Amino acid sequence: MSGAWLRGWALDCALGADEDACFAAVAAGKPPVSKLRLDNFNEPFALHYYRIDDGADLFDPARLARRLPGVVAAAVDTAGLDARARRALPIFVGSSCFSIGESEARYAAALAHDPDAALAMPCVGFEGIAASVRAAIGSEAPSYTWNTACTSSANALLAAQRMLAAGRFENALVIGAELANLTSLAGFAALQLTADAVRPFAAARAGIVLGEGIGAVVLSATPRGAPPLCLVGGAANCDRYSVSGANPDGNSIAAVLRTALATTGTAAEAIRGIKAHGTGTAMNDAGEARGLAQVFEALPPVCVLKPWIGHTLGACGVNELALFAAALRRGVLPGAPDAGAPDEALAVGPLAADAPAAPGRYLLNQFGFGGTNTVLVLEWAA
Amino acid sequence: MKAGLLAAGDYFAPLADDAPLPALDAALREVGAGSFRRIDRFVQLALLGAARCARGHNLRPGCGVYIGSSLGPLSSNIRVQETMLGTREWPMPFHFVNTLGSSAGFYIASSFNLSGPSLFVSRRGASLAAVLETALTDLATGVVEQALVGVVEEAPLPLAAQRRRLAVAADMPLAEGSHWLLLGGAGDRATHSVSFSREPDVRRLSVAGACCAGRGLGDAVPAGYMRLDGLPWHDSIEAAWFVARAAEARRNVALLNRDDGGGYLVRLGA
């Protein structure tokens, strides 16, 4: 099988700072969501949020520099890469926060000190994450930083998989990072897409709940790891219906699902389960459900992870892959807490309780603003 | 990696401190790049450059849109921060959506009725190399049959503020640009090609400048000379300008771009 083997991964999210902590929190059954109040607006607002509980000021711009190295080190150490492999390790980053939080903090401080001289967006460019990781692991290989909204890190994974399959690298480090910033919080609040709880595909779904998370995955052209998990490929397309939502008729999502299956030589009946994008918004869930219905005569088990870690935006591809892979390692497909009654019009009932997972192929869906749809095909090799 | 060069086109404008940004509406109408509401300068630039490249060509529906940029949609990010932190108001939804790198690709795909992948990738001064390598990989592996590949950089006004943002000299000339190539696969007839290779040993070469320095290596340059100087935003747009203008003139040239991840060689040839 040509593809990219998951050689190591790590996740730091609202559930916990490592895999064991995450699954202990899942076992406890209570989503780590809390209420966040933003008073620094003329019209203050509150929203629910899955934050990384590090005790720090949520908007401390140093948080990324404090949290990221540990996640990267855990993934790279687990992968067992030696010094030569680390030097040759390309870095693929998918994010939607980058240095936005630091820009906001510096601009706010400048406004307080001297409003006339204050400069918005003092930090420009997207390279901060890759540059800090490069220094930390000693990589001398290229970096690729993706900014395609909520599919950013999924597209980073897909690009890394393709470059490995094409023989351009032996290994690749793929990072997803999303930490709190005002732009994302206020932007989604302004779009009126936020809700008190995330209930994908439920009749009572009301919107998304944002979250923080940093994930890292080491992919390798060489099989290694238990269980042997391989990113065998996937597909991306562009949905021209709306810049801020998938077509609710499901056609573009069906198209990307079909391409992902066809290009990986996978029959729909061979899919053992689906990690849905499942944002809990009316439009996304309708498009995703109708797209799935067009492709699958009998829908495999569908699991949703955003009720556990929130929507980590551009990082969700890597973060949810890391959590999903960890669940497969435990032999389960995670159920969702507080799932609510399914919307009968959508005919997708995500798992409300853990279900056994079996070797075989799984789909991982991600969809984002700008019409970006990305589907990954993951195999748990027997 | 190599692909057929089907077309090239661009928009480039040096900017003046005491003048507004050039109006783009008429130029966008001229190339039939759609009439979209609520788009920002970055999207306008991307649309104009892509349309100038693709006009007269029948793009296949699965053609991918690949955008590279060092700075991305900067003016919308500035506007959103000024709104939130300067006036303490919530951002307008469309301003927020325009802060995302994927918005420009959406409007290009909409303008040309494309449904292939729409991607945005950045690598400081070597963003052209990053986006070309991505597109060429997708062409080589059959993910797409055609790729519309461009680099877009904007320079928001006032330029004095932009120079502070970029930490460059107060008299540094600034420009905005959008430079594009249309690449095809085996099914397309092309008289010229674009190839890409990584040159890991380039760091051992003596190349003047800082981390992103490079130089034109061509047997002919389209106009002026290459002056990649280690400033990421500047190298990003100038490298793309060089390649797009050379491609439009069907010149045989090479561009060496380098950064902390090594060297990247882009060649145009018959």
pLDDT value at B260 more than 90: no
**Amino acid identity for residue B124 in this structure:** R
A40 close to B (CB below 8 A): yes
Find all residues with CB under 8 Å of A3, minimum gap 6, and list them. A161, A164, A165, A230, A231, A232, A233, A379
CB A136 within 8 A of CB A64: no
For residue B65, give the nearest of B236, B186, B180 by alpha carbon: B180
Q: Which two tokens stand for residue A330?
A: 């435990």
Hey, which bits of chain B come out as E strands? 2-15, 64-68, 118-122, 146-153, 174-184, 192-199, 214-216, 253-259, 262-269
Question: How many other C-beta atoms are found inside a 10 Å radius of the C-beta of residue A182?
Answer: 23
- Chain B window 92-111: which residues touch A at a Cβ cutoff of 8 Å? 92-93, 96-97, 99-107, 109-110
Q: ipTM beyond 0.85?
A: yes
Q: Minimal Cα distance from B136: which residue of A?
A: A163
Interface test with B, best of A106, A111, A169, A240 (most B CBs within 10 A): A240
For residue B259, give the nearest of B122, B137, B167, B119 by alpha carbon: B122
Q: Which two tokens stand for residue A378?
A: 């993951």
Q: Do A163 and B109 touch (CB under 8 A)?
A: no
B204-254 pLDDT, tens digit per residue, is: 433 322 222 333 434 334 433 345 556 676 778 888 888 888 888 888 888
Q: Which two tokens stand for residue A283?
A: 């439009």
Hey, which bits of B103-163 come out as E strands? 118-122, 146-153
How far away is chain B from the Cα of A346, in angstroms, using its nearest Cα?
25
Helix axis angle, B127-140 to B232-248, nearest 10°: 50
How far away is chain B from the Cα of A121, in angstroms, using its nearest Cα?
6
Residue with tokens 């083997």: A5
Distance, in Å, from the CA atom of B201 to the CA atom of B256, rounded to the nearest integer, reads 12
CB A135 within 8 A of CB A68: no
For residue A191, give the nearest of B93, B91, B38 by alpha carbon: B93
Nearest to B91 among A115, A186, A370 (CB): A186
A156-186 pLDDT, tens digit per residue, is: 999 999 999 999 999 999 999 999 999 999 9
Q: What is the pLDDT of residue A255?
A: 98
A73 close to B (CB below 8 A): no
How far away is chain B from the Cα of A365, in angstroms, using its nearest Cα?
15
B250 close to A (CB below 8 A): no
Q: Which two tokens stand for residue A140?
A: 């001398």
- pLDDT by 10-residue block (mean), chain A, 382 residues: 88 96 92 93 94 95 96 96 96 96 96 96 94 96 97 98 95 98 96 95 96 98 84 97 93 98 97 98 96 97 98 98 96 92 93 95 98 97 82
pTM: 0.96
B78-102 pLDDT, tens digit per residue, is: 999 999 999 999 999 999 999 999 9
Distance, in Å, from the CA atom of A325 to the CA atom of B205, rounded to the nearest integer, reads 43
Element (H, E) at A367: strand A360-368
**Amino acid identity for residue A183 in this structure:** T
Identify the three-state secondary structure at position A225. Answer: coil
How far, CA to CA in Å, does A52 sit from each of A103, A176, A315, B190?
A: 20, 15, 14, 52
Q: Which two tokens stand for residue B229?
A: 């100087």
B168-186 pLDDT, tens digit per residue, is: 889 888 889 999 999 998 7
> How far is the first Cα of chain B from the last one, in angstroms, to the nearest whole number?
15
Q: Do A155 and B119 touch (CB under 8 A)?
A: yes
Q: What is the pLDDT of residue A226?
A: 67
